[in-house]
Amino acid sequence: MNQFKSNSKTWTECRKQFVIPEGADRDEAVYLCGHSLGLQPRNTMSEVTAIIEQWGRLGVKGHFKGETPWISYSDTIESNLGQIVGAKADEIAVLNTLTLNIHLLLTSFYQPEGERRKIVLEATCFPSDRYAVVSYLKHLGLDPDDHILFWEPRDFILYMDDLTALLKRHQHEVALLFLGGLNYLSGQFLNIPEIVELASESGIVVGLDLAHAAGNVPLALHAWQVDFAVFCTYKYLNGGPGSLGAIFVHQKHHKVEFPRLEGWWGNDISNRFEMLPEFTPAPGVQAWKLSNPPVIAMASLKCSLELFVAEGMEKISNRSRDLTAQLEQSLKLLDTELFRILTPSSASDRGAMLSLHVLQKGKDLFDHLTDEDIVVDYRSPDIIRVAPCPMYNLEDDLHQFCTVFSDALRIISA
Query: Nearest approach, Cβ of 146 to ligand PLP (angstroms)?
Result: 24
User: Which of 11, 151 has the CB closer to ligand PLP?
Assistant: 151
End-to-end Cα distance, the chain: 24
Helix (H) or strand (E) holding 150: strand 148-151
Whole-angstrom distance, CA of residue 302 vs CA of residue 285: 19
Amino acid type, 249: V
User: Which of 213, 409 has the CB closer to ligand PLP?
Assistant: 213
User: Which of 128, 403 has the CB closer to ligand PLP?
Assistant: 128
DSSP SS3 for 357: strand
DSSP SS3 for 389: coil
DSSP one-letter string for 237-250: T---TTPPPEEEE-
Query: Nearest approach, Cβ of 18 to ligand PLP (angstroms)?
Result: 20
Query: Nearest approach, Cβ of 102 to ligand PLP (angstroms)?
Result: 7
Whole-angstrom distance, CA of residue 218 vs CA of residue 317: 7
* Beta-carbon-side half-sphere exposure of residue 157 (alpha carbons within 13 Å): 14
CB 238 within 8 A of CB 38: yes
User: Which of 232, 394 has the CB closer to ligand PLP?
Assistant: 232
Query: Nearest approach, Cβ of 1 to ligand PLP (angstroms)?
Result: 36
Query: Nearest approach, Cβ of 127 to ligand PLP (angstroms)?
Result: 8
Query: Nearest approach, Cβ of 297 to ligand PLP (angstroms)?
Result: 12
User: Which of 38, 284 has the CB closer to ligand PLP?
Assistant: 38
Using a 10 angstrom Cβ sphere, with 0-12 exposed, 13-18 middle and 19 or more buried, the burial of residue 357 is middle
Query: Nearest approach, Cβ of 98 to ligand PLP (angstroms)?
Result: 4
Nearest to ligand PLP by Cβ — which residue?
A: 99
User: Which of 239, 284 has the CB closer to ligand PLP?
Assistant: 239
Whole-angstrom distance, CA of residue 147 vs CA of residue 118: 4
Q: Enumerate binding residues for ligand PLP (CB under 6 A).
A: 97-99, 126, 128-129, 180, 184, 209, 211-212, 232
Query: Nearest approach, Cβ of 99 to ligand PLP (angstroms)?
Result: 3
Whole-angstrom distance, CA of residue 261 vs CA of residue 385: 36
Can you give the C-alpha Rg of the chain in angstroms?
Answer: 22
> What's the CA dihedral at 307, 397, 378, 318 to 10 degrees?
50
User: Which of 122, 397 has the CB closer to ligand PLP?
Assistant: 122
User: Which of 229, 391 has the CB closer to ligand PLP?
Assistant: 229
* Beta-carbon-side half-sphere exposure of residue 204 (alpha carbons within 13 Å): 31
Using a 10 angstrom Cβ sphere, with 0-12 exposed, 13-18 middle and 19 or more buried, the burial of residue 127 is exposed
